[in-house]
C-alpha cells in the first residue's frame, strides 16, 4: 500500500512538474491594441526613418513588425531642405530633411502598391500639411486606401516653414487640424505631438477633445550644432530635429504626463533602441512604440528588439505586454 501510494504521489508530482514546464515555456503575449486595431507586437518603425520599407525588406521579413508608419506624405512632391541636413551628435543626431516625399498622388498610386507586396498588415499613414485644407485632402485620400489602418497627423515637424510645428504648439490650432481630419475619414486618427511646448498635456487634451482616437509622441526636439572652424551652423537650415537615445528620458516623461491627462491610447517614441526601452515606455503609458533613429544606425534594430522582447518579458515576469501599459 505504501509503495502504491508513493507511486501515485510520484505520478501526480510528475504531472505537476510537467504542467509547470508548460507554463514556463509558454510564449509571452506581445500583442497590443490601438483604437481597435490589433497588432502582433508594439514595434513600429517611425515615419521618416524607414521610407516605404523596400530597403529593409531585402534584409528581413517585414511582417514581423507590428505596423509601419511610412514616410510622411504631403499633397505636393517635396525635395526637402537644402544640404547638409544631417548632423551627428553625442548620443543622437540632428536632421532637417524637411518632409522629402514624392507627393500624395505618387504615394497612393505607386508606393502603397509596392508596399502591399512586402508588408501584409495595416499601415500607419503619416500626413503633413501647410493648411487645414491640405490635411483634409490627405486624410480623404488615405481613407480610400485599404492598407491604411491609422492616420497619423503630423502637426509637430520642426523642419518645415509655414506649417508643421506651427500647428502643434498651439492648442486651438492642434484641435482644429485634428477635428478637420476626423471629419474627413472613418479611420482612427492619431495626432503626433511636438515636445517643443511648455505644457504638452494642454495640447494632448485639446486633441482628445477634438476627437483624436490616439496620440503619437514625441517628435524630435529642436536643436542646433555649430562648426567652430567655419563659425557657421552645421545644418543648412540652421536648426533641426534632435533624436536618438539622448532624448529618451524626455520622451518617457512626456508620455507619462500625457497618459495621466487623457483617456486615449498613446504611441510612444523618442530614443527607443532596446527591448528594455520598449517596456519602460509602455510602463509610462504607451500602448505601442515607434523606433526612429535606431533604424538609421542599425537596419536590423526593429527585428532585434522584437526578437529580444520575449526574453526580457520572461526575466521581468511579464506574461502579456498589454498588462504593463501605464502601470506607473
316 burial via Cβ count (<10 Å: 0-12, 13-18, 19+): exposed
pLDDT exceeds 90 at position 12? no
Read off the pTM.
0.90
Model confidence at 150, pLDDT cuts 50, 70, 90, reads: very high
Contact 152, 216 (CB under 8 A): yes
Protein fold of 35-80+97-221+245-324? TIM Barrel (3.20.20)
Q: Which of 130, 245, 139, 235 is nearest to 186 (CA)?
A: 139
pLDDT exceeds 60 at position 185? yes
Between CA 281 and CA 259 the distance in angstroms is: 11
| Residues annotated catalytic, as ranges | 157
pLDDT exceeds 60 at position 114? yes
121-130, 156-165, 202-211: which has the minimum mean pLDDT? Answer: 156-165
What is the tens place of the pLDDT at every residue in 115-132?
999 999 999 999 999 999
Sequence-distant (6+) residues with CB within 8 A of 238 are: 224
Q: Which of 43, 61, 106 is nearest to 287 (CA)?
A: 43
pLDDT at 167: 83
pLDDT at 11: 41
CB atoms within 10 A of CB 144: 9
Q: Spell out the domain ranges in the chain.
A: 35-80+97-221+245-324
Q: What percent of the chain has pLDDT over 70?
A: 89
Task: Look at strands 240-243 and 221-223 and give their pairing.
Answer: antiparallel
Q: Please, what is the Cα angle at 74 between 268 and 162, to 5 degrees?
A: 90
pLDDT exceeds 80 at position 319? yes
pLDDT at 69: 98
Between CA 203 and CA 266 the distance in angstroms is: 14
pLDDT exceeds 90 at position 293? yes
What is the tens place of the pLDDT at every residue in 238-256?
999 999 999 999 999 999 9
The secondary element (H helix, E strand) that includes residue 37 is strand 37-39
Amino acid at each position: 500500500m505504501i509503495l502504491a501510494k508513493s507511486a501515485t504521489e510520484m505520478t501526480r508530482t510528475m504531472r505537476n512538474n510537467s504542467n509547470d514546464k508548460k507554463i514556463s515555456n509558454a510564449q509571452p503575449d506581445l500583442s497590443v491594441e490601438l483604437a481597435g486595431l490589433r497588432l502582433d507586437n508594439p514595434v513600429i518603425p517611425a515615419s521618416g526613418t524607414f521610407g516605404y520599407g523596400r530597403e529593409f525588406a531585402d534584409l528581413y521579413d517585414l511582417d514581423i513588425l507590428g505596423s509601419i508608419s511610412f514616410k510622411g506624405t504631403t499633397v505636393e512632391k517635396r525635395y526637402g531642405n537644402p544640404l547638409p541636413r544631417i548632423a551627428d551628435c553625442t548620443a543622437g543626431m540632428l536632421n532637417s530633411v524637411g518632409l522629402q516625399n514624392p507627393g500624395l498622388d505618387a504615394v497612393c498610386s505607386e508606393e502603397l502598391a509596392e508596399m502591399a507586396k512586402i508588408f501584409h498588415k495595416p499601415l500607419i499613414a503619416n500626413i503633413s500639411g501647410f493648411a487645414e485644407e491640405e490635411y483634409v485632402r490627405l486624410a480623404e485620400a488615405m481613407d480610400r486606401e485599404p492598407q491604411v489602418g491609422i492616420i497619423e497627423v503630423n502637426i509637430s515637424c520642426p523642419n518645415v516653414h509655414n506649417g508643421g510645428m506651427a500647428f502643434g504648439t498651439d492648442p486651438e490650432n492642434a484641435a482644429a487640424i485634428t477635428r478637420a481630419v476626423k471629419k474627413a475619414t472613418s479611420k482612427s486618427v492619431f495626432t503626433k505631438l511636438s515636445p517643443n511646448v511648455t505644457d504638452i498635456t494642454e495640447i494632448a487634451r485639446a486633441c482628445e477633445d477634438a476627437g483624436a482616437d490616439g496620440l503619437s509622441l514625441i517628435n524630435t526636439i529642436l536643436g542646433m550644432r555649430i562648426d567652430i572652424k567655419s563659425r557657421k551652423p552645421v545644418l543648412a537650415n540652421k536648426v533641426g530635429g534632435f533624436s536618438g537615445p539622448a532624448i529618451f528620458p524626455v520622451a518617457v516623461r512626456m508620455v507619462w504626463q500625457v497618459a495621466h491627462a487623457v483617456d486615449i491610447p498613446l504611441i510612444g517614441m523618442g530614443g527607443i533602441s532596446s527591448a528594455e526601452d520598449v517596456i519602460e515606455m509602455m510602463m509610462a503609458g504607451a500602448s505601442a512604440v515607434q523606433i526612429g533613429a535606431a533604424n538609421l544606425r542599425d537596419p536590423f534594430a526593429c527585428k532585434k528588439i522584437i526578437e529580444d522582447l520575449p526574453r526580457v518579458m520572461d526575466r521581468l515576469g511579464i506574461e502579456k505586454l498589454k498588462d504593463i501599459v501605464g502601470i506607473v
